[in-house]
Structure 1
Amino acid sequence: MFSRSPVTTMLYFQLVIMAGTVMLAYYFEYTDTFDVHVQGFFCYDSSYTKPYLGPEESSAVPPALLYTLVAGIPTLVIIVTECVLFLLQYTSKDLDSREKTIVTGDCCYLNPLVRRTFRFLGVYAFGLFTTDIFVNAGQVVTGNLAPHFLTVCKPNYTALGCQHALRFISHQEACTGNQEDILRARKTFPSKEAALSVYAALYLAMYITYTVKAKGTRLAKPVLSLGLMCLAFLTGLNRVAEYRNHWSDVIAGFVVGVAIATFLVVCVVHNFKGKLLFSESPPQDHADSAPMANHPRVESPLQKYIASQNHIAFAEVT
């Protein structure tokens, strides 16, 4: 009777979770399955009368550019870094007599480089879709209004009886503008652009910090990490400057992105650390069965020098 190994079962389970996450993100993003909460407003509320600078595609950071950067840059950096570390480890050790593949199922073997790379990228992709789900859920539930909401809403103040600014309008039919612009203006909290950008920047910054251990990078790593975080901050700042989000929307997006990235790095991939990639157990001779006191170990100066130079470690997440 055929039975799957625990590793194969766990792999299938993770694929099911990933597929469910992608489908949920798709329903939030491209369907009207979840109705957006209709939040009311006060007549002539100055908080929502900022100018409308056009669709998202006309922004200084359009969605196509943002999604390309948050998906492409971390993927490229992780693949290149893993390949370099693997080659350094491979060429610095005598691996001819050691196992260079790991078992992932009953009949499948993967190179450790492939497994590490797919694991880090898989967790990163899962975090991207999770961030998108959290953000979309918050936008649907709150229905928070954009700073330019009344500009695209174009309410008929006379018909609504807005003789004074304290009158509260709560019904959806109050708007006469373009329905797509109005719906988009009701989905601003938290800011999706801020959440995705800070998630990508923090995940990549922590990856570089924990994985790259080469000499001479003590200053380069924090500079690169802070540069990534600065780009994420500028993305959120641009959302406020273009009147597409409030400060509270951007801050909430930052919180969501930072929380998800920190949780995945610390609790899922364990700071990108783990056991050594290749087993370094030395072969045991029959003489090893004798008491250690009778066979004291003496290292030659050459052996000590080689051991001091062999400092490159390639870690695998378990």
Structure 2
Amino acid sequence: MASNNTLRSYSIIPCFIFVELVIMSGTVLLAYYMECTDLFSVHVQGFFCNDADLMKPYPGTEESSFVPPLILYCVVAAAPTAIIFIGEVSMYMMKSTREALLAQEKTIVTGDCCYLNPLTRRIIRFIGVFAFGLFATDIFVNAGQVVTGGLSPYFLSVCKPNYTGTECRFNHQFIVNGNICTGNHVVVEKARRSFPSKDASLSVYSAVYLTMYITSTIKTKSSRLAKPVLCLGTLCSAFLTGLNRVSEYRNHCSDVVAGFILGSAIALFLGICVVNNFKGVHSAAAKQKTEEYRGLPLMTFPRVESPLETLSAQNHSASMTEVT
């Protein structure tokens, strides 16, 4: 391999092991504690006993949903990972795109025998950032649910308050006592975690990140509709996932909209600011060439002598002759 396509670095592997992996491990650990443990207690939000927005019928467990969480999480995590991996390998194998790829990325030499080619670096970078954003989205969603304690549309159906008691006797009395619920404690706790919608956040994050990768990386000269159809189909799937949460009375419309905004914001931030629109680092020669042309004028016009300047020069010459 040519020497101008290689770059020696002794810090990339230690930085990856002691910085990147530590941050990723901490993110996964925090997501686990917020998702699978009771370390963070949910805020107990008050309600009205006769609130029509909270009296929808109980839709059943999450596993009985039209889009079960297990299938959703598998698709959200596996589909972008597989498409990114296949896309990078395909571009590296094709000669036309491989030359452009090698022009943007350099082979990192970390020792006498360790080489990191552009394909390996791009796959680790794009999939690693995607995985980090997936766990970060889950953390943001759980934090919002714990802090707000948003009530689900079916909250009163599972809470089962005593409507004949003194606390629910008046229609406009606001209930702040969390012990008024007589239903299943586990189901009631899940009904207090509605805002924002986790399914909407994760699905739209995965869809936006994958759409940005497809539009920025994959080039299709023969077909102009294949890429838009793939991107719009991905976004439509995420949109329908959010609508399904509303139609099954599992989330309010505001919960789904907030989830869409949160997932889209994280995906846009990572795609634009972290992976630079999925573009590699341009070669030093291209940068140097750009710097050389930066100082040159854009256009040079011929100088046209003004008649006033000509007349002034003639008068000045005549006056000098008279003095002499």
The TM-score with structure 2 as length reference comes to 0.79
What does residue 313 of structure 1 align with? none
Deviation per CA, 1:229-270: give whole Å up to 9, x if none: 111000000000000000000000000000000000000000
What does residue 184 of structure 2 align with? 178
1:102 alignment partner, SS class: strand
- Asked if the contact 2:92/2:98 (under 8 Å) is kept, the reply is no
1:6 maps to 2:11: yes
Moved more, 245-254 or 161-170: 161-170
Q: Distance in 1 between matches of 2:285 and 2:177?
A: 67
1:141 maps to 2:136: no
1:168 maps to 2:174: yes
Q: Distance in 2 between matches of 1:256 and 1:70?
A: 16
Are the structure 2 counterparts of residues 271 and 181 from structure 1 closer, same or farther at C-alpha, using a change threshold of 3 Å? same
Q: Which amino acid aligns with 1:262?
A: L
Deviation per CA, 1:14-59: give whole Å up to 9, x if none: 1111111101100100011111000011111111000011000000
Please state how far the C-alpha of 1:92 moved relative to its aligned partner.
Answer: 6.9
Aligned counterparts, 1:4-153, within 5 A? 5-11=10-16, 12-89=18-95, 101-104=107-110, 108-153=114-159
Please state how far the C-alpha of 1:214 moved relative to its aligned partner.
Answer: 2.9
Q: Which amino acid aligns with 1:81?
A: G
Are the structure 2 counterparts of residues 160 and 180 from structure 1 closer, same or farther at C-alpha, using a change threshold of 3 Å? farther
- Asked if the contact 1:199/1:257 (under 8 Å) is kept, the reply is yes
Q: Distance in 1 between matches of 2:224 and 2:56?
A: 45
The TM-score with structure 1 as length reference comes to 0.81
Are the structure 2 counterparts of residues 189 and 35 from structure 1 closer, same or farther at C-alpha, using a change threshold of 3 Å? same
- Asked if the contact 2:91/2:97 (under 8 Å) is kept, the reply is no
Q: Which amino acid aligns with 2:269?
A: F
Structure with larger Rg = 2
Deviation per CA, 1:118-171: give whole Å up to 9, x if none: 110000000000000000000000000000000000111222432221111111
Moved more, 165-174 or 192-201: 165-174
1:199 alignment partner, SS class: helix
- Asked if the contact 1:7/1:105 (under 8 Å) is kept, the reply is no
- Asked if the contact 1:100/1:278 (under 8 Å) is kept, the reply is no
1:157 alignment partner, SS class: coil
Unaligned 5+ runs, structure 1:
94-98, 281-318
Please state how far the C-alpha of 1:274 moved relative to its aligned partner.
Answer: 2.0
Moved more, 252-261 or 9-18: 9-18
What does residue 253 of structure 2 align with? 247
Please state how far the C-alpha of 1:114 moved relative to its aligned partner.
Answer: 1.5
Q: Which amino acid aligns with 2:80?
A: P
Q: Which amino acid aligns with 2:167?
A: G
Are the structure 2 counterparts of residues 277 and 160 from structure 1 closer, same or farther at C-alpha, using a change threshold of 3 Å? farther
1:261 maps to 2:267: yes
- Asked if the contact 1:148/1:243 (under 8 Å) is kept, the reply is yes
